[in-house]
Structure formats: C-alpha cells, structure tokens
Amino acid sequence: MPWEKQFDKQAALDKALQAFWTRGYEATSMQELVDCTGVNRGSLYATYGDKRALFISALHMYDDARRRMLSEFEARYPPRDAIRRVFLSFMTGLTEDGSNRGCFITNTALELAAHDAEIRDIVATAQQDVEDFFKRMVKCGKAAGNIADHVKPADAARGLLASLLGFVVLVRSRPEPALLQGVLSDALRRLD
C-alpha cells in the first residue's frame, strides 16, 4: 500500500506562507518551515518540492486570496468605495497585530523579483491584476458619475497601483495612521 501523507496540506502551506511573509524567503530556513508546519522535512520535500517550490506555492496561495478579495470588493461596493477598501484592507489587515508585514507580493518583489524570472512573472501578473481591477473600477465609476469625466482609466489605474505599492511599503516601515490616511486621500483625489 502506498504511503499517504498524514497532514493537512493547505494548513501546512498556510503556515509556511506565514513564515515566509514574516521573515522573507532568504531568512526562512527549512528547519523553521519544519518547526512551524509541524511536518517533517522529508514530507515537505515530497509534497512541495524544495524550499523555492514551497515558497512559490505559498505565493500563489496568497495571490489567490488577494484575487478573491478584489472580486468581492468589485461585487459588493460602488467603484470608488471598492478602490478605497483595497487600500484600507492593507492598512487594517497589516497593522492590527503590530506585525507590519506589508504585502507578501510586494515584499517578494523587493526581495526576489530582480533576480528570479519566474517569481518576477508571478509578481508582475499579480500587479497587473490589481491595475486591471482599478481600471475597471474607474470605468464603472465614470459611467455612474462618481469619478470625473476627465479621468483616464488606464492612467488612473497605473497611478493608483503606484500609490498602493508605496502604501503597502509604508504600512511596513511607517505604519502611522495619519500618514497612511494622507496617502489614501491623495490617491482618491486623483479621481475628482
């Protein structure tokens, strides 16, 4: 009878994601991954491959959750509010516990994308998805009359993406509510 893995793969992957998100790829050792997941080294390797493959699986898990969040915001809120909620989700989700971990995708862009083409492509696709979300929201907001007619959706989407990337870096380095609120207010003023 073939050997079966006796652990919850999704739970282990989430624990690995949390470790990578907190410490980064380079600073997270395989032993730390073994310790935090509660899964022995051989089983981790057999299930996910090497550390890099486990990291990429964790990155995809995070990206999938982010995509679901964007879809939910798009379905539930008016366009301008959906944009605002994207920023606020990072502000509240990342500063409540004091961990200031930033955005896992942005952290990965800063740590690894410059020298790993596969990871760079994952990050670029994730950023493009956010830009596309902003573009859709701007178009819908213009159609509804909540965003000024002169606003160009593609330009506004790029500007919002740049503001969001700066915002999530500030969440990690300077999680001051007044600063973050100022960045958000400035980003939304571009839609007036």
Read off the pLDDT band of 25 (50, 70, 90).
very high
Please check whether residue 175 is in contact with residue 100, taking contact to mean a CB–CB distance below 8 angstroms: yes
Q: What is the model's pLDDT at position 177?
A: 87
Six-digit token pair at 189? 């003023």
CATH fold of 60-189 reads: Tetracycline Repressor; domain 2 (1.10.357)
Phi, psi (rounded to 5 degrees) for 50: -80, -175
3-state secondary structure of 150: coil
For the chain, domain boundaries:
60-189
Q: What is the pLDDT of residues 121-156, one digit of tens each?
A: 999 999 999 999 999 999 999 999 999 999 999 999
Query: What pLDDT does 95 receive?
Result: 45
Question: What's the confidence (pLDDT) of residue 98?
Answer: 59
Average pLDDT of the chain is 91
Question: pTM score > 0.85 for this model?
Answer: yes
Query: At residue 33, does pLDDT exceed 60?
Result: yes
**Average pLDDT of the residues in 83-109:** 80
